[in-house]
Amino acid sequence: METEGNRYNMFSRRSAMLLGGKFSLFALLAGRMYYLQVIESDQYLMLAEENRISLRLLPPSRGRVIDRFGVELANNRQNYRVVLVPEQTQSVEGTLSSLERILNIDDRQRRRILREVGRKRAFVPITVSENLSWEEFARVNIHTPDLPGILPDVGETRFYPFGPAFAHVVGYVGAVNEAEINDDPMLQLPGFRIGKTGIEHVFEKELRGVAGNSRIEVNAVGRAVRELNRQDGQAGEDIELTLDAEIQNFATKRLGNESGAVVVMDIFSGDILTMCSTPAYDPNGFNIGLSTKDWEGLLNNPKTPLINKTISGQYPPGSTFKLAVALAALESGVVTADHTVTCRGKIRLGRHDFHCWKRYGHGKMDMINAISHSCDIYFYDIARKTGIEKIGEYARKLGLGSPLGLTLPAEKSGLIPTPAWKMAVQGVRWQTGETLISGIGQGFVLSTPLQLAVMTARVSNGGFAVRPRLTRKTDAPEKLNLEDIPMAEEPAYLGISDSSLAVVREGMNRVSNHKRGTAYASRIRQKGMQMAGKTGTAQVRRISRAERLDRVRKNEEKDWIKRDHGLFVAYAPVDAPQYAISVLIEHGGSGSRVAAPIARDIMHETQKLDPSHRSRGSLETTSDNPANV
């Protein structure tokens, strides 16, 4: 009996221990379930929702770029496109073959589509073609029942209404590359485009806007079932430029097939009304996608359509630089306005002859006549008396030799040489002959068309350091703190006397309005609109004595790349200056023959439209052809 009792007690203890263990495990499981379902319920509910709901970004509408009167220079338009859903067709190849009878699909597109079909899930839409015309889009819609897997779709794309006319200023958008991807998730959206050049690039963040989102219910494999809700994004800001679309278009047409640049600006506010560089390119092509052939054509074009010549082209200013030399000579006191030099066609310095552009010379010249006739001998003389250091000082006061802080990237500084610069760069001393050559805007001297316009503005506005501006945005990016700040105060005074400026302006007046002036043939005849200017012809290589004696004919016979540059700067009206202009024609020959007529027509059109007094809603329609002025 004791043995059986012991066995019974042992069995009871084991049963109790087993029951206690089971109870402990059950309690632990119950506690864990309570912890997960009650205490941590919010977290797991969120994880479950994430498995069921997909949050998708919605790209916002890109902000517009507009001119001073609200004319759209860059906007958005409907993007008619066609997408393919592979799972909805039994044969992708067959569907594409059927679609080719309606749309032009080249081998490159076909390879790209098939590559994406292999990489993505069968229910993910793949873009077949975009930026279709309405006629093409309509044809696809009509044949949709016979095209399994093909879905017509409407999105949004960037559009530049004026094409090449504003390309260098506004810029263009393009697909995001790997180097440009950052912490902004929008940049990873398929087909998303960002600004690559110009205003589109500089104000990218402002134009981009803020993304919206869409909550989509998806199944276990990620296929969208339905949209639960949507929150639209915030459209990008509009960027208003100081440009005038009418004047810009007129200037573009007036330049025609020339390789050149035009800048027109208000001499008091610094507003740039026209910034035109030709030839240009169609920015819409970059948005849609350029072919290899088209891209190589742009790269290999000797007239460099991808470069904005107004700010990135650096050229010898030629005789337009004589304005700075004259002011330096007068202000330094080495000569007066009635200082005379007899021009006999050349002077000798050491063993070298320095020639005037006029074969037998101009005779006796004072400063005003020397400017009017553009006498090289006179400016050789006063440049030697003044010295390169003093010439450089006044050239820099007038805006030459350093960037002007414009909004656009890639602005070049030009070059105003000094003896120290030459020693540092070339390791040799400055020569007196180089001062003479610099005195007529040749040699090492380089400038941009924008700098020449600013120089002319500062001469004509009474000697104030007006600074050019291209946008009217008050909260410009921090990196552009030199630009886009409204001028609440008058620009700084340069310290150049009114009497010296008056001498130079009178010389410019005679250039255009005196019978013996170098640009008299290109004068504006309409009373109250006359302009005062200065011609310039800049050599691009050393020329022989024979070429010098017949510059016009020899220029026409040379290869284009070897011809002189033609330049012209001016302000108008003469009696009450308001606008300044600079015109550069690459390898165009004489400035008086090719650049001055273009400047005349554009300056006349500018005054007809008079942007400083015109208001929104009062735009005039002008002729496509230059006016007979």
Residue 439 pLDDT: 97
If DSSP codes are grouped into helix, strand and coil, which group holds residue 107?
helix
pLDDT over 80 (residue 618): no
615 is catalytic: no
pLDDT over 80 (residue 125): no
Q: Which CATH architecture has domain 56-240?
A: Alpha-Beta Complex (3.90)
**Domain 311-482+489-596 is in which class?**
alpha beta
Give CATH 3.40.710.10 domain extents, the chain. 311-482+489-596
Q: Which of 167, 113, 160, 104 is nearest to 133 (CA)?
A: 104
If DSSP codes are grouped into helix, strand and coil, which group holds residue 228?
strand
Residue 624 pLDDT: 42
What strands lie across the sheet with 260-266, from one edge to the other?
A: 272-278, 260-266, 579-585, 565-572, 532-538
Which one is catalytic: 277, 319, 438, 460?
Answer: 319
Summarised one tens digit per residue, pLDDT across range 423-437 is: 999 999 999 999 999
Read off the DSSP letter of residue 210: B
Beta strands in 207-315 (DSSP E): 212-218, 224-231, 239-240, 260-266, 272-278
Q: How many CB atoms lie within 10 A of CB 377?
A: 24
Give CATH 3.90.1310.10 domain extents, the chain. 56-240
pLDDT over 70 (residue 367): yes
Summarised one tens digit per residue, pLDDT across range 405-428 is: 998 989 999 999 999 999 999 999
| Distance from C-alpha of 158 to C-alpha of 75, rounded to nearest angstrom | 6
Give the global pTM: 0.82
Cβ–Cβ < 8 Å for 435, 387: yes
Q: Predicted confidence band at 304 (pLDDT cuts at 50, 70, 90)?
A: very high
Let me know if 102 is exposed, middle or buried by CB neighbors in 10 A (0-12, 13-18, 19+): middle
